[in-house]
Amino acid sequence: MQQKRVTGSGADDPRVTELRTALSRLRRQLAAHPADFPDRGIAEDELAALDAMAAGGAPEIPRLRRSLLLVAGAIGSVSALARGLREVRMAVDLFGEPPRR
């Protein structure tokens, strides 16, 4: 199975900048959220993984989407984080659809 990578340097790609900004914002919101919930660790780990992929400059689109689904599942019921999650989803969507198999 071949993974599609985004070409170009992350520093040059406005999509990467948008994704990193949205991830940073959501990570701060999650850190400041006072309530503990069962999947908080999963959300934190996946947000860190997403940021690492974006920092590398060539994120794999299917992996971005899988991580986004894990984050959404982990924090989807926390309404205070809904806006930040939506911004991350919109930033991931900038990378386009993965090829259909």
Average pLDDT over residues 5-21: 74
Residue 5, in any domain of the structure: no
Q: How far is CA 64 from the centre of its chain?
A: 6
pLDDT of residue 19 exceeding 60: yes
- Asked if residue 61 lies in contact with residue 99, where contact means CB atoms within 8 angstroms, the answer is no
Range of the domain at 80: 14-31+38-94
Residue 3, in any domain of the structure: no
Residue 8, in any domain of the structure: no
For all residues of the chain together, what is the average pLDDT? 86
Number of C-beta neighbours around residue 2 at 10 A:
5
pTM for the structure as a whole: 0.82
pLDDT of residue 65 exceeding 70: yes
Residue 72, in any domain of the structure: yes
Total structural domains in the chain? Answer: 1
